[in-house]
Amino acid sequence: MKFFVDTADVAAIRELNDLGMVDGVTTNPSLILKSGRNILEVTKEICDIVEGPVSAEVVAQKAEDMIREGEHLAKIAPNITVKVPLTWDGLKACKALSSAGHKVNVTLCFSPAQAILAAKAGATFISPFIGRLDDNNFDGLDLIAQIREIYDNYDFQTEILAASIRTVNHITDAARIGADVITAPPAVIKAMANHILTDKGLEQFNADWAKTGQKIV
C-alpha cells in the first residue's frame, strides 16, 4: 500500500519523507489555507521534497476553467497530479487533462457509481472519503470494498486512494480491503506506531535494565 500524506505542512512532510513513509502528498484548498502560504510556492516546495505524486486541486467549477487551472498547476513540477471534484464538469476536465498526459485525482467520491464514471474518464486516482461518510451514518469502508470489487471486475487501472482518514483503524481496514493508496494527516500516520502494550513492555524493560546497573555505552 502507498502512503500519501494529507497536508501542506512542509516540515511534517519532510520528517515522514526522511523515514521513507511518503509515497505522495495530497493537498486541497482547506490545507492550503491552514498552511498560510501561496499555493504555487508551497506546492513547488512539496514537489521538491517528494518524488511521488503531489495532488494540487483546482478551484473552478466549470470544466473549461478547471482545465485551464489544471494545466497551470501541472507546470509547477513533473510530479503534479491535478485534483478535480467528482462533478460532471470535473469528469469533463478529468478526461481532457488525462488525455493530455496529466495525472488526475478525482476527489469527493461518495458512491460506487461516481467511482465508475471517474475510471471511465481516465482518472489516475479516485478518492472516496471514508470519514465524511462515517460522519453521516454511512459506511465509508464499505464504499472502498464496493469500488475494489467493481474495478477488479473490469480491470480498471484507476487507483483507489482512500481519503478522509480519521483513525489508524481506517488505514489498516482500507489495507485489508485492498485500497491502493491511503492519504492521511501526519498525526494519524505517526499514531500507527502506538500501542499500549508496546508502552507497557518498554516500561518493564527499562525498569529491569535499571536494576542491572549496567550501561551499553
Task: Tell me the percentage of the chain whose pLDDT exceeds 90.
Answer: 100
For the chain, the domains span: 2-212
Q: What is the pLDDT of residues 15-30, one digit of tens each?
A: 999 999 999 999 999 9
- Angle of CA points 188, 16, 21, to nearest 5°: 85
Q: What is the pLDDT of residues 161-202, one digit of tens each?
A: 999 999 999 999 999 999 999 999 999 999 999 999 999 999
Q: Please report the pLDDT score of residue 45 as a whole number.
A: 98
CATH hierarchy code of domain 2-212:
3.20.20.70
What the block records as the C-alpha cell of 211 is 536494576
Q: Give, in order, the Cα–Cα distances in Å from 214 to each of 84, 202, 205, 209, 211.
A: 59, 17, 13, 7, 8
Q: Is 83 a catalytic residue?
A: yes
Q: Please report the pLDDT score of residue 197 as a whole number.
A: 98
Average confidence (pLDDT) over 55-80: 98
Q: Please report the pLDDT score of residue 121 as a whole number.
A: 98
**Active-site residue identified among 2, 34, 83, 103:** 83
Q: Specify the pTM.
A: 0.96
| CA distance linking residue 187 with residue 171, whole number of Å | 13
Q: What is the pLDDT of residues 103-159, one digit of tens each?
A: 999 999 999 999 999 999 999 999 999 999 999 999 999 999 999 999 999 999 999
